[in-house]
Each structure stands twice: as structure tokens, then as C-alpha cells.
Structure 1
């Protein structure tokens, strides 16, 4: 089972690591998009969210306080869903549908991150293949 959990962690964080790379290397372009969506202080927000993504992903991937890493990803996902994918504000049907899909994806990933937070907090070292136990 330890290997299955490790594979799941790898698959789960692949998206976030890729996104962290984009946030940190293409921050100007991403800040323009975030600003167009109404995010306050878009450039610092993009850089800060990139750091959250990177730290959370590495933590979950390596099993270094993985519960804290899952919490960091949750802290990224919920505001992102609400600010960047506010489908209820869109009047164009195609844009509305696109934002709704991304909103629901972010909510589903937030649910998975919340479950990981609970799982790592409860199971800790019993999951195996982690470098530390839980932070909480």
C-alpha cells in the first residue's frame, strides 16, 4: 500500500508543480490575466501563489510534513476557484462554461487536498515512504 500512496502523491502534485513553475517563471503574463480577473495586487499574488504551490507540492511529494503541504495546496485552491473562475460573473455562455469547469476542478482538488490533510494527520508514519511525520 505504501507504494500506491506514493504513486498517488506523485500524480496529485504533478499538476501543482507544473503550475508553480509557470507562476514563478511567467509571473508577468500570469499577473496580467489575474489583474483582468480582478485579483488585487496581481503580481505579488501570482508570486505568492507560486510559492504556495511549490512548497505544498514538494511537501506532499516527499512526505515532509505532508499534512501541512496539503493545507498549503488547499489555501491556494479555494481562493483561486473563487477569484479566477467566478463563472457566475460571466455573461458569455462559452466563457461561463469554461470557468464553471475550472471552478469545479479546483473544488474537487480542494476536496482531495482536504482528505490528504486528514489522512496524513491521522495516519502519519503508518503511510510509509514519507520523510517526516505530520506537522499537526
Structure 2
């Protein structure tokens, strides 16, 4: 069971680690996109969100307060869904569809991250982790 959970953590974290590295290494082009979506201080927001998802992804991957890392990922995904993928304001049908897909993907991943939070904060024997949970749920 420990190995299955570890594989799941690796697969889940990979998306956020790659995304976060992209935020940090391609911040200028991402900031231009964010500015187009109305994000204030877009360059700073891109860099901060990159750090947020790298820290959250590493936390889940390595099992260092993975419950907190899961919450960091939620803190990235929910605002990103609402701010960056507002499909409701798109008039072009194909753009609306693409933004709706991205919005729903972000919400689904946020739900998965919340479930991971509950799992890490509730389960006593997490197996292959460096630390135990920071939070406790009963």
C-alpha cells in the first residue's frame, strides 16, 4: 500500500512541479497572459504562484507536511480557475469551451488536493513520508 500511495504522490505532484518551474522560467510570457486576464502585478503573481505550486508539489512528493502541501495546491488552483479560466465571459464558442475545460480541470484537481489533505491529516501511518502531518483531523 505504501508504494501505491508513493506512486500516486509522484504522479499528482509532477503536474504542479512542471507547472511551477514553467511559472519561474517563463515568467515574462506568463505575466503577459495574466495581464490580459486582468491580474494585478502579474509578474509578481506569476512568480509567487510558481513558488506556491513548487513548494506544494515538493511537499506532497517528498511527504514533508504533505497535508500543508495539499492545501497550498488548493490555494493555487481555486483562484486560478476563477481568475484565469472565466469561461462565462468568453463569446467565442471554441474559446469558451477550452476555458470551461481548464476551469473544470482546476476544480477537479482542487477537489483531489482536498481529499489528499484529508487523507494525510487523518491517516496515522502514512508510510513512505519524511514527516507526519502538520494538521490532525479526526
TM-score over 0.5 for the alignment? yes
**Residue in structure 2 matched with residue 74 of structure 1 by the alignment:** 74
**Residue in structure 1 matched with residue 19 of structure 2 by the alignment:** 19
For 1:43 and 1:35, how far apart are their aligned partners in 2? 8
TM-score between both structures, scaled by the size of structure 2:
0.96
Deviation at 1:39, TM superposition (A): 1.0
**Residue in structure 2 matched with residue 46 of structure 1 by the alignment:** 46
**Residue in structure 1 matched with residue 35 of structure 2 by the alignment:** 35
Conserved? CA contact 2:126–2:132, under 8 Å = no
Give the aligned length: 135
Matched, 1:100 2:136: no
TM-score between both structures, scaled by the size of structure 1:
0.98
Conserved? CA contact 2:52–2:76, under 8 Å = yes
For 2:91 and 2:41, how far apart are their aligned partners in 1? 25
Structure with the larger helix share: 1
Deviation at 1:40, TM superposition (A): 1.3
Deviation at 1:134, TM superposition (A): 0.5
**Residue in structure 1 matched with residue 131 of structure 2 by the alignment:** 132
Deviation at 1:41, TM superposition (A): 1.0
Q: Where in structure 1 do 4 or more consecutive aligned residues deviate above 6 Å?
A: none
Point out where structure 2 has 5 or more consecutive residues left out of the alignment. none
For 1:108 and 1:90, how far apart are their aligned partners in 2? 21
Q: Deviations over 1:95-118 (max 9, x none)?
A: 000000000000000000000000
Point out where structure 1 has 5 or more consecutive residues left out of the alignment. none
- Give the SS at the match of 2:134: coil
